[in-house]
Chain A
């Protein structure tokens, strides 16, 4: 049986009070509750404070380039669909630098569990606006405030019919662990956008700010109704819904690839007879 202890305890480089700590704890709890052993799990991350998270637990890790976690994870999943591949990075990495990959990965519905630490600011580079920063958010790089409409990842993922779309809050770790557990069990692309205050560089979207606004979805909410989910996903401001916002039923991408019907690519032998026939056909 897997326990939280199997996932280890590490010293982190995060600020005291950072929302990342609670996400890390919720992740370990969800992994243990899912019965996944560390060697069965591959974490893929990009660059940013959130992207360091996989270094702080026991698992396989590919910590790649800024913005490029999703394609690296897609390659790994296609090479070995037996791996439980989890992508963990921030809002800048996933929605900014990696925006095109985010759209493509959702469209493919590739079997990845994607946890985005969304603090609406760039932390590692010390406080510039991110794609999810609210309009008017003032930083040293945006002294007149952000002039762009914030990117709503939840609304976008629902619009493109990701199989599992949720929003969590790092101030409610037990609720978040539950969401991660559901996401790990969902086939296809699963996104959890996690609201996570940056205590150093975001003095607007604080714990208190989120706590006043987050609302758990009512128990009679039906996440399989796409049109309703789209409306729910679009909600942002005075009230921010958290929970499982959408559940779809598209087949996972890896289940549609002919070469994978016979199992993972890793360890396969070249079919020399088949290859010889292909060469012979060129005569």
Chain B
């Protein structure tokens, strides 16, 4: 246990109901008033393998996992063996009495006596939850919500398994220290990064989604699909990613704010479409959940390898924005912002996340969706006649009418075109149109999200992060500060365009600057250097497919001699 948090790791084979236990335990912890940060580790298979659901919880906000484990819930022998080395000195093991505990302290549970094998996962929930001070009533509520619909017998058996497990654990008389006091007075919602992106998009005015399933992006689409009929959204599984992006562009052209969701390999197929959105000046939001590549790579692991890919995706030169939220709250807000930027500047906007954030459940203050505005597609003002879709303007943004909504004709072309939208090979017109499209870069610069500086300017060490690695950097900084080094953090949630005026002063003021990111080549570090000439003192990189943690940062900083061990 770190001082203020506890990490519970549930491990087992795919198909053992591990995700169910994880979800139910997470939900019960959130309802009890704890903050959580879930890390899911799984393999590209439906049965077998070694899968994990780790919950780090505490009273304060948590945005990153730990590598150490305080309570290990082992659904199979392999889990005991793999995670034995990660246990903290006072850690406990919860395992079936038939498994070999390898001498580890904890609870040897007679699961066969508590419940039939089919309900063993709910019994495991009962044991772990009781040990963590969760009431049976709280857990029963979560179980009933999940299994209530499956018929009375299953629900009743699950309820019985839970009751037996709670009773048994109470009588086992083992205690587990909790990380402070939860705050149940403020009911929070539990959701992961992908669900937050979907809700942000829906609240921002999303009307059309097209996608081709690809881990770890799929649950963004599935969240939209689940609410599509109720909210009047069309969500279409396309025949491939090329179709998906072209459908979204077609829908957006016709007036439906549109989204595609994918991961790196799928996005590779969408790249020509990105160029089409730019050339036809059609709003398009692309959400890309990163996983390690190249090619199929590590399909179910995390990474930050696709920044340069989205930055340069699409042939030709055009304006774009790249956003990278670091938490579910930011996922929600940035998804919304992406729709407004796409509509305002009539082109492609990217939201980059990764598997860790995509799958990481958190306790979040409920979004006040009733108060938030949504984007309106198309131009509603006075139109100069004859209407010209690509009329030249100072800011490069032309009034975008929607086909069929007025008597004016809307003509869009992927060829170089005249202001009217008809294809042309007049090279003077070509120059005019290039300048018009690139003028939008200036407008996008006005909208750049300021990177967040935590800690004093001019610190001994400044840790720079982007996207999902921000919370680990903040945690590492706090740890170093507590040990006497003045450390600040600078976290970017927008990666393009950059406005050096917002951050170059902070970089220059710090004694040493270290860039932290989940790739092998320092993509953001090099981008900053390219745009500003600024060179850092070092970097922390990770590309093994696991999320960056505070522990990882501290180890790497020590290895590089940037901090004392």
Show the binding face of A for B, using Cβ within 8 Å.
37-40, 42, 44, 47, 52, 55, 58-65, 68, 70-80, 82-83, 100-101, 103-104, 257-260, 262, 264-276, 278-280, 282-283
Contact = CB atoms under 8 A, between A and B. Distances in A.
Interface size class, chain B: 35 or more
A236 B273 CA distance: 36
Given A73-B250, A265-B256, A42 B228 contact: no
Given A76-B250, A100-B240, A279-B366, A65 B272 contact: yes
Given A42-B403, A63-B423, A265-B208, A78 B276 contact: no
Residue of B203, B244, B372 with highest tally of chain A CB at under 10 A? B203
A107 to B, nearest CB: 9
23 contacts: A37-B407, A40-B404, A44-B250, A58-B409, A59-B409, A64-B246, A64-B276, A65-B272, A71-B247, A72-B249, A73-B250, A75-B247, A100-B239, A101-B242, A101-B243, A264-B255, A265-B207, A265-B251, A272-B203, A273-B370, A276-B369, A278-B231, A283-B189
Contacts of B404: 39-40, 42, 60, 80, 82-83
B229 A259 contact: yes
B33 to A, nearest CB: 12
A282 B247 contact: no
A55 B195 CA distance: 42
B253 interface: yes
Contacts of A63: 412-415, 423
B419 to A, nearest CB: 14
A59 B414 CA distance: 17
B326 interface: no
B232 A268 contact: yes
Contacts of B410: 60-61
Contact of A268 (B187, B207, B405): B207
Nearest to A82: B404
Nearest to B409: A60
Given A39-B407, A68-B246, A80-B254, 8 more contacts: A42-B403, A71-B242, A76-B254, A77-B254, A257-B234, A264-B255, A267-B255, A271-B230
Contacts of B239: 100-101, 103-104
Contacts of A104: 238-239, 243
B406 interface: yes
Nearest to B408: A39
B240 A271 contact: no
Nearest to B249: A72
Nearest to A107: B239
B228 to A, nearest CB: 6
Nearest to B207: A265
Nearest to B415: A63
A47 B248 CA distance: 19
B402 interface: yes
Contact of B233 (A44, A80, A259): A259
Interface centre among B246, B272, B406 (most CB of A within 10 A): B246
A74 B242 CA distance: 13
A88 B276 CA distance: 18
B199 interface: yes
B423 A79 contact: no
A76 B210 CA distance: 12
B539 interface: no
Contacts of A40: 404
Contacts of A262: 232
B191 A282 contact: yes
